[in-house]
């Protein structure tokens, strides 16, 4: 009896020892600040005054019913997320298939395609500003192709496309690697069986390979969706949200609201909404993943 009791206490202490550092650091650096954010979302505060006023749900009502810029940011974020997730995943999968197929120098290609992903977002912004600006100007002078004369960062519609292109370019390598891992885990026996059965490669891909890499697809979709909804630094550095507010995602709108409009409480409410959006997507993805896992 005594031994068991001692065991229980030791177990509890060891649990605490293992878990305490994580709980402490997460509480101090994320949870508490976030709770403060929720607190301020119900208040009116300019961010530096020494007092704030309680206003209930006013901030939330305003952002849902009376804020065209937030609406625009919401639509842009959704559009951006959908397009980036689709493009980056399809392209990454295609390149993964290509790299896993019958080519030489697989290792070399794998390494090289990943390179854009190791560059910091600040630097990427400057790089592509140079490309869309000076390089395209020079290309236009050399070739006279209309596409190089467009205002890639200045026309409100084209700028949206520019942000998507740069994001896909930057993220491609990362998802490609995950797809390669997924493809490599497809047992050869199944593929050979399908080949013996006489299935053509396209059919083979869709009916045999694709179902087996659903976990990779789920992971990549989840990750890219969540990342795209939260995107800030790349767009900040590439277009600054412009021209006007044409490429302002929710995260940047929050930043503007807090630091340029001096509306900390309102910005906090927007942050909470963004968080809920990302949380919903995450929970949905995890549920789908778990269900698929069970089936597999």
Partner 1 sequence: MIKNRKPSFVLSVVALMLLIIMLAPLALIILGAFKTYSEIMTNAISIPERLSFQNFSNVFRDMNYPKAFLNTVLVTILGTLGIVIVGSLAGYKLSRTKTNLSYILFIFCIFPMMIPFQSYMIALVKISKSLHLINSIWGLSIIYWGLGSPLAIFLYHGFVKGIPKELDECASIDGCSQIKTFFKIIFPLLKPTTATVVVINAMWIWNDFLLPLLIIGTDKSNATLQLAAYGFMGQYKMQWNNIMAGAILIILPALVIYLIFQKHIIAGMVDGSVKG
Partner 2 sequence: MNKKLSILLVVLMLALSFAGCSKPSQETAQPTAQPAADEPVTLNFMLNSPELTDQYNDMVEAYKKAKPNVTINLQILQNDYQTVLKTKLNSGDAPDLFMSSAYNDNKVFKDYAYNLDNEDFMKDIDPAMLVSTTLDGHLTGYPFLVQSHSFIYNKDLFSKAGITTLPATFDEYKQACEKLKAIGVQPFSSGFAEWWVLPQTTYPAMSDANGGDYVGLFKSIESGSQKFGDLPQVDYALDFIDLIKENSGNKPMESTFDVQVSDLANGKAAIIHQGTWAEDSIKKINPDINIGFINTPRSDGKSVLAVESNLTFRVYKDSKNLKDVLDWLRWITTSDYGKSWIPEKIKQISPQVGAKMPDTMLAKETGTAIANKATSPWWIFIGPDGIEQPLGVAFQNYAAGSGRQETKDALTKIFVDAYNAQKNK
What is the spatial distance between Cα 170 and Cα 213, in angstroms, rounded to a whole number?
A: 23
Q: Is the dihedral of CA 262, 268, 269, 270 positive or negative?
A: positive
Give min distance, CB of 188 to partner 1, in A: 7
d(CA 126, CA 116): 13
Binder among 105, 211, 240, 244 for partner 1 (CB under 8 A): 105
Choose, by CB under 8 A, the member of 63, 88, 238, 254 that binds partner 1.
Answer: 254
Other CB atoms within a 10 A radius of the CB of residue 158 amount to: 16
- Region 48-87 residues binding partner 2, contact defined as CB under 8 A: 48-51, 53, 62, 66, 68-69
Under rule CB under 8 A, residue 112 binds partner 1:
yes
Q: Which of 243, 234, 235, 236 is nearest to 259 (CA)?
A: 236
Closer residue to partner 2 (CB): 99 or 246: 246
Q: Site for partner 2 (CB under 8 A): how many residues?
A: 42
**Nearest residue to 89 via CA among 282, 207, 219:** 219
How would you write 86-103 as a 3-class SS string?
Answer: HHHHHHHHHHHHHHHCCC
Half-sphere exposure of 54 (CA within 13 A, CB side): 2
Looking at beta carbons only, is 64 or 223 nearer to partner 1? 223
Smallest separation, CB 120 to partner 2 (Å): 16
**Interface pick for partner 1 out of 78, 100, 154, 292 (rule CB under 8 A):** 100
Q: Is 225 helix (H, G, I), strand (E, B) or coil?
A: helix
What does 98 bind: partner 2, partner 1, none (CB cut-off 5 to 8 Å by kind)?
Answer: partner 1
Near partner 2 by CB under 8 A: residue from 8, 134, 156, 290: 156
What are the structure tokens assigned to 37, written together? 């954010």
User: 170: exposed, middle or buried (C-beta count within 10 Å: 0-12, 13-18, 19+)?
Assistant: buried
Assess whether the previous peptide bond of 243 is cis (omega < 30° from 0).
yes
101 binds partner 2 (CB under 8 A): no
Pick between residue 71 and residue 110 the one whose CB is nearest to partner 2. 71
**Nearest-approach distance from CB 41 to partner 1, in angstroms:** 9
Q: Is 261 in contact with 238 (CB distance < 8 Å)?
A: no
Q: Which stretch binds partner 1 (CB under 8 A): 31-39, 51-59, 149-157, 238-246?
A: 31-39
13 binds partner 2 (CB under 8 A): yes
Please choose which of partner 1, partner 2, none residue 292 contacts, taking the beta carbon within 5 to 8 angstroms, the exact cut-off set by kind.
none
Contact positions with partner 2 (CB under 8 A) in 223-252: 240, 242-246
Sites of contact with partner 2 (CB under 8 A):
9-10, 13-14, 16-17, 20-21, 24, 44, 46-51, 53, 62, 66, 68-69, 133, 149, 151, 153-156, 240, 242-246, 255-256, 259-263, 266
């Amino acid at each position: 009896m005594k031994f068991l009791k001692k065991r229980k206490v030791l177990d509890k202490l060891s649990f605490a020892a293992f878990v305490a550092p994580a709980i402490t650091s997460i509480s101090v650096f994320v949870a508490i600040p976030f709770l403060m954010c929720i607190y301020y979302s119900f208040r009116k505060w300019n961010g530096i005054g020494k007092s704030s006023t309680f206003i209930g749900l006013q901030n939330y009502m305003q952002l849902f019913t009376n804020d065209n810029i937030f609406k625009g940011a919401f639509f842009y974020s959704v559009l951006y997320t959908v397009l980036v997730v689709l493009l980056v995943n399809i392209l990454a999968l295609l390149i993964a298939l290509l790299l896993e197929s019958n080519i030489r120098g697989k290792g070399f290609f794998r390494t090289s395609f990943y390179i854009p992903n190791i560059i910091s977002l600040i630097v990427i912004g400057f790089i592509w500003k140079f490309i869309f600006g000076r390089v395209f100007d020079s290309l236009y002078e050399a070739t006279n192709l209309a596409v190089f004369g467009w205002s890639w960062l200045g026309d409100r519609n084209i700028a949206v496309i520019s942000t998507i292109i740069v994001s896909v370019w930057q993220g491609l390598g990362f998802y490609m690697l995950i797809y390669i891992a997924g493809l490599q885990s497809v047992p050869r026996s199944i593929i050979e069986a399908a080949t013996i059965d006489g299935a053509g490669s396209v059919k083979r891909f869709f009916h045999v390979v694709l179902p087996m890499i659903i976990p990779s697809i789920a992971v990549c979709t989840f990750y890219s969706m969540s990342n795209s909804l939260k995107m800030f630094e790349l767009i900040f550095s590439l277009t600054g949200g412009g021209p006007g507010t044409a490429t302002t995602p929710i995260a940047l709108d929050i930043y503007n609201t807090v630091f340029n409009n001096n509306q900390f409480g309102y910005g906090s409410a927007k942050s909470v909404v963004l968080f809920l959006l990302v949380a919903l997507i995450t929970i949905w993805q995890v549920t789908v993943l778990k269900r698929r896992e069970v089936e597999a």
